[in-house]
Amino acid sequence: MLRPSIIRALVTRQVLLFTRNPVRGFELFFWPIVQLLVWGFVTVFLQQQVGGDGFPEFITFLIGAIILWDALFRSQQGVAISFLEDVWTRNLLNIFAAPIRMSEYLAATFTVGLLRVFFTALVLALIAILAYSFNLFQFQWMLIAFYGNLMMFGWALGIISISMILRYGHAAESLAWAVPFIVQPFACVFYGVEVLPKWMQWISLAMPPAHIFEGMRGILAGNGLDPNRLLLATGLNVIYLAAAGRLFSHMLALARKRGLLVKAASS
């Protein structure tokens, strides 16, 4: 059974790292804001050059995709970067030596990811309204389903990232940033599944984000949400989270057996 006091203590430590260092807060908001502004105005420029009644629809597709993609990326970063913070500060051995269950440690990183997503989402939603008259809350209750599924997949990717770092050490630290972008072409963030080659479509449909972004575009296009897509995405997320947890357990046991944990924590 998870102990809330342990999770709260671990989350508090991560929160203090941000509140006591303004640079960390700047990094949290800088990239998503820049991405939203740059790609949003690029699309507005293309609209002005090309014209046409149907083109404005693509602006909403892009803006919605950027904001929702940030939810996946930030939740993954919440897990991966929280782990790396313990590696960089040589605190990892203290974590594993303390009476902390790995389920509690992961729950704390999930919470950190949730907080990162919450604050960046509010900022991006405000900018989208002011700059492009795009209201993120037009999705109503479906926005919760979209964010929930994207964060679940982000958590799974985060667990996979730290599993690889446990196994391969500092050489694999770049995966903390690379893993989300490895799956991005298959997630169909900015385009429909149908534009992919057939072999890529099969991979794409096996990933929850593709169904979420397809659902988002369906709503913005006025076609509504296919509930089967949402159910399929949720089911796939459960599978991915379970598989990622299994991988983490295996890599942690392997790291302890081979002494990789001490090497990673003390390098």
Please count the structural domains in the chain.
1
pLDDT of residue 235: 96
- pLDDT over 80 (residue 5): yes
- pLDDT over 80 (residue 228): yes
What percentage of residues in the chain have a pLDDT greater than 90?
A: 39
CA distances from 165 to 92, 170, 210 (A): 12, 7, 27
Residues 6+ positions from 64 with CB-CB distance below 8 Å: 134, 136, 216, 217, 220
Which H or E run contains 109? helix 102-132
Q: Give mean pLDDT, residues 161-178.
A: 86
Residues 6+ positions from 204 with CB-CB distance below 8 Å: 186, 187, 188, 193, 196, 210
Cβ-in-10-Å burial (0-12, 13-18, 19+) of 58 comes to: middle
Q: How many CB atoms lie within 10 A of CB 219?
A: 19
- Closest C-alpha to 150, from 26, 240, 251: 240
pLDDT digits (tens, 9 = 90+) for 237-260: 999 999 999 999 998 888 877 776
pLDDT of residue 90: 78
CA distances from 245 to 156, 159, 161, 222 (A): 8, 7, 11, 38
- pLDDT over 90 (residue 179): yes
Domain with 157 in it: 4-266
| pLDDT grade for 263, boundaries at 50, 70 and 90 | low
d(CA 87, CA 141): 38
Determine contact, residues 211/59, Cβ cutoff 8 Å: no
pLDDT of residue 144: 92
- pLDDT over 70 (residue 71): yes
